[in-house]
Amino acid sequence: MKKILTGALLAGVVISSIFIAGACSSPKVKTDNERSIEASESAKRAYELSLGETGNKDDKQPDPTTPQVVKVSIYVPGTNGITQNMDNSIDILDPDLLFAKLIELNIVDKNAKLKSFTITNDKGVLSLSGVDINNKQLMKAIANTYIDNFEELLYLTIEVDGKSSADTKDMKFDKDFKKSGSVKVNKVSAVNENNTDKNGN
């Protein structure tokens, strides 16, 4: 009887061992949390690969040291009126840089000077020297250039050597102009796209 019990006990131990071994060798079922973690890691790897071969996130960030420039309207006088040209080669919207652009493009004489530029509410006064105040097309071109780019302006008085004329006092934006459609790029580049002319274009 003891032999029978001993044999049955050994058989039970063997069967239990088989079940335990089978349970240990069976594939592990992943929990929802583990699947979520793996999916997140996979998405992260895909994102890093999309940044480039280096996988460096900084590669796609804008460089704060990159110089920015402003897109400005430059009006050029002609025998049949004035023409608007777009230019994106100055660093910031500054009256002196704008006047220097007029000199660079031979719109005003190289010896011309900007003495001062002031804005009070919607009126501005541009004080110059070395410019022909009797050249009506030139005065219109200069006035349009400043009124268009300094959007708070509605009127501009141009003085030459401290004097203005009836034609250059409280000048309004002249809508009678042509558009060249050209964009000049002479120096650096980053454009302020918000600049629009007073004609609503």
**Residue-by-residue pLDDT tens, the chain, 201 positions:** 544 445 555 555 545 555 455 545 444 555 666 666 666 676 667 666 655 555 454 554 556 666 567 789 999 999 889 999 999 888 899 999 999 999 999 999 999 999 999 999 999 999 999 999 999 999 999 999 999 999 999 999 999 999 999 999 999 999 999 988 554 444 322 233 333 445 444
**Alpha-carbon 56 to chain mean position:** 23
Q: Are residues 114 and 50 in the same domain?
A: no
Q: Are residues 80 and 51 in the same domain?
A: no
The span from the CA of 37 to the CA of 29, in Å, is: 15
Q: Are residues 143 and 53 in the same domain?
A: no
Q: Are residues 57 and 79 in the same domain?
A: no
pLDDT attached to residue 63: 60
Stated pTM of the model: 0.60
**Domain termination residue (choose one: 38, 61, 84):** 61
pLDDT attached to residue 34: 64
In a domain, 12, yes or no: no
In a domain, 192, yes or no: no
| Boundaries of domain holding 105 | 70-184
Burial 155-190 (b: 16+ CB within 10 A, else e): bbbbbbeeebeeebeebebbeebeeeeeebeeeeee
| Cβ neighbourhood burial of 196 (10 Å; 0-12, 13-18, 19+) | exposed
pLDDT attached to residue 185: 40
Q: Are residues 172 and 95 in the same domain?
A: yes
For residues 154 and 119, the answer to whether their CB atoms sit within 8 Å is no
Q: Are residues 45 and 74 in the same domain?
A: no
pLDDT attached to residue 31: 63
For residues 91 and 188, the answer to whether their CB atoms sit within 8 Å is yes
The total of structural domains in the chain comes to 2
CB-based contacts of 101, cutoff 8 Å, min separation 6: 72, 74, 87, 89, 90
CB-based contacts of 129, cutoff 8 Å, min separation 6: 112, 113, 115, 160, 161
- 117: which DSSP letter? E
Q: Are residues 50 and 98 in the same domain?
A: no
Q: Are residues 97 and 172 in the same domain?
A: yes
pLDDT attached to residue 36: 63
Residue type, 156: L
pLDDT attached to residue 191: 30
β-pairing, 177-184 with 81-90? parallel
The span from the CA of 128 to the CA of 179, in Å, is: 26
CB-based contacts of 45, cutoff 8 Å, min separation 6: none
pLDDT attached to residue 57: 47
